[in-house]
Amino acid sequence: MKLVIFDMDGTLTDGFAFEENIYVRTFAQAFNLPDVRIEWASYPHTSSSYCLEAVLRERCARTATPEDSRTVQRVMIELMADIQRRTGRCTREIPGAAAALRELRRRGYAVAVASGDWEATARHKFATAGIPFDDLPSAFCDVAHARTEIMQTALARAAAHHGRAAFDRITYVGDAPWDVRACRELGWPLVAIGQDDQATHLHSLGVAQVLPHYLDLDAFLRAVEQATSPRATESNLPS
C-alpha cells in the first residue's frame, strides 16, 4: 500500500486566511497586540504554534500557555466565520483537491494530512472548503512545532489506521519552501502545488513535479508516482 500525505494551507485549501490577515487580526483581538509582524519564511519552524510562541516572545517576553493557544484558535475561527457571514468570502479548495483525495482512496492509496495549522482551525477550513477529512489520519501543530515531526506523526497515525508497519512508498504534497526542506530532510518524494512565480521558485528549489492544481487528475496521479525527493540545489533554502 502506498501513502500520500498532504499539507493543507496552499495545498488542499487556498490562502483565504492569509489574504484576510487572519493571524494579524487574531493577535490584535486576542492579546491587544496591533500590527504584529509575521514572517513565516524566517521562522525555524513554520507552524501556527511556533508563530504564536514567536509573537508572544517578541512582543510580550513570555511563552505561550495552553490557554493562549485555545484563545487564538477560537478567535481565528470566529474571525473566519464572521467574514464568511458578512461577505461570503471563505476558505476554498485548491481546484480539484477534494476529487483528488477521493480518487486516490478509490485507487487503494492511503491518504493522510500533515499540516502546520492547529487541528481545530484546520477542521474549520476543511469543512468550509468542502474537503472530506473526518476519517483521514492526520497530525497538526498541536503535536509539535517542527514540520518534519508533524509529518512523521501523520505517517505513524496512517500506519496505525491501516494496521501496517510500513508503506511501499510515501509521497508528500506541499506548496512551500519549508515543505521542500522537510522532504529533503526526510528523503520523501514531493509533489508541489503552485502557479506562476511560485511554481518557478519551487522548480528552482529542486522540485521536479510541480502542478498548478488537481484539475488534470491523471497528471496529478502520474506526479504522485514519479515524484522524487527534492534535489539539493545552490538556492538558499530558509534555514
Q: How far is the CB of 85 from Mg ion (least distance, A)?
A: 26
Residues 10-39 that bind Mg ion (CB under 5 A): 10
Residues in 170-189 that interact with Mg ion by CB under 5 A: 175-176
- Least distance to Mg ion from the beta carbon of 74, Å? 22
CB of 178 to Mg ion, least distance (A): 8
Give the pairing type, strands 138-139 and 110-114.
Answer: parallel
- Helix (H) or strand (E) holding 174, with range, is strand 169-174
The residue among 230, 221, 198, 206 whose CA lies nearest residue 4 is: 221
Question: Quick count: other Cβ atoms within 10 Å of Cβ 168?
Answer: 9
Nearer to Mg ion, 10 or 137 (CB): 10
Q: Count of residues binding Mg ion (CB under 5 A)?
A: 5
> Which lies closer to Mg ion via its Cβ, residue 10 or residue 189?
10
Which residue among 5, 9, 159, 227 contacts Mg ion (CB under 5 A)? 9
Q: At what angle do helices 22-31 and 66-87 cross, to 10 degrees?
A: 120
Residue 50 to residue 144: CA distance in whole angstroms: 9
Q: How far is the CB of 62 from Mg ion (least distance, A)?
A: 28
In the complex, the smallest distance separating the C-beta of residue 50 from Mg ion, rounded to whole angstroms, is 14
> Of these, 3, 6, 7, 110, which contacts Mg ion (CB under 5 A)?
7
Q: Which is nearer to Mg ion, 10 or 177 (CB)?
A: 10
Are the C-beta atoms of 12 and 97 separated by less than 8 Å?
yes
CA distance linking residue 128 with residue 50, whole number of Å = 25
**Residues in 111-170 at the binding interface with Mg ion, rule: CB under 5 A:** none
CB-wise, 15 or 132, nearer to Mg ion? 15
- What one-character DSSP code corresponds to residue 9? B
Q: How far apart are CA 155 and CA 139, in angstroms?
A: 9
Q: Closer to Mg ion by CB, 53 or 175: give it.
A: 175
Query: Smallest distance from the beta carbon of 89 to Mg ion, in angstroms?
Result: 19
Is residue 93 at the binding interface for Mg ion, with CB under 5 A as the rule? no
141 in Cβ contact with 49 (< 8 Å): yes
What grid cell was written down for 6? 498532504
- Tell me which residues touch Mg ion (CB under 5 A): 7, 9-10, 175-176
